[in-house]
Amino acid sequence: MKDTSHVNALENEAIYIFREVAAQFEKPVLLFSGGKDSITLVRLAQKAFWPAKIPFPLMHIDTGHNFPETIEFRDRLVKELGLELIVRNVQDSIDQGKVKEETGRYSSRNSLQTTTLLDAIEEFKFDACIGGARRDEEKARAKERIFSVRDDFGQWDEKNQRPELFDMLNGQIELGQNVRVFPISNWTELDVWSYIEKEEIEIPSIYFAHKRKIFLRDGLIWSHSDYVYQEEDEEVIERMVRFRTVGDMSCTAAVFSEASDISSVVQEIRDSTISERGARIDDKRSEAAMEKRKQQGYF
Partner 1 sequence: MEVLKIATAGSVDDGKSTLIGRILYDTKSLTTDKLEAIEKTSKQKGYDYLDFSLATDGLVAEREQGITIDVAHIYFSTAKKSYIIADTPGHVEYTRNMVTGASTSQAAIILIDARKGVIEQTNRHFFINNLLRVKEVVVAINKMDLVDYSEETYNAIKADFEELMSKRDYENQNITFIPVSALKGDNVVNTTDKMPWYKGGTILEHLEALDLAAVSNAGTPRFPVQYVIRPKTDEFHDFRGFAGKVYGGELSVGDAVVALPSQTKSKIKDIYFNDKKFQTASRRSSVTITLEDEINVSRGDMLVKADDLPTIDKQFTATISWMDSQKLAAGNKYVIQHGVNKVLAKVDCVHHRINPDYSGIDESIDALGMNDIAKVTFKLNKPIFFDAFKNHRTNGSFILIDSQSNNTVGAGFIQE
Choose, by CB under 8 A, the member of 26, 100, 103, 165 that binds partner 1. 165
Nearer to partner 1, 161 or 230 (CB): 161
Nearer to partner 1, 144 or 248 (CB): 144
- The footprint of partner 1 on residues 47-66 (CB under 8 A) is 47-53
Which of these, 153, 68, 150, 75, lies nearest to 119 by C-alpha position? 153
Give min distance, CB of 91 to partner 1, in A.
32
Choose, by CB under 8 A, the member of 140, 181, 192, 281 that binds partner 1. 140
- The footprint of partner 1 on residues 10-39 (CB under 8 A) is 10-13, 15-16, 19-20, 22-23
Choose, by CB under 8 A, the member of 142, 157, 260, 267 that binds partner 1. 142
Q: Are 12 and 163 in contact (CB under 8 A)?
A: no
Give min distance, CB of 278 to partner 1, in A.
4
Choose, by CB under 8 A, the member of 89, 91, 155, 188 that binds partner 1. 188
Nearer to partner 1, 40 or 66 (CB): 40
Nearer to partner 1, 16 or 208 (CB): 16
- The footprint of partner 1 on residues 229-288 (CB under 8 A) is 272-275, 278, 287-288
Nearer to partner 1, 84 or 92 (CB): 84
State residue 110 phi and psi, 5-degree precision.
-55, -50
Between CA 289 and CA 141 the distance in angstroms is: 11
State the number of binding residues for partner 1 (CB under 8 A).
58
Give min distance, CB of 260 to partner 1, in A.
23
Q: By CB under 8 A, name the binding residues for partner 1.
A: 3, 5-6, 9-13, 15-16, 19-20, 22-23, 46-53, 135-136, 138-143, 149, 158-159, 161-168, 170, 172-174, 185-186, 188, 190-191, 272-275, 278, 287-288, 291
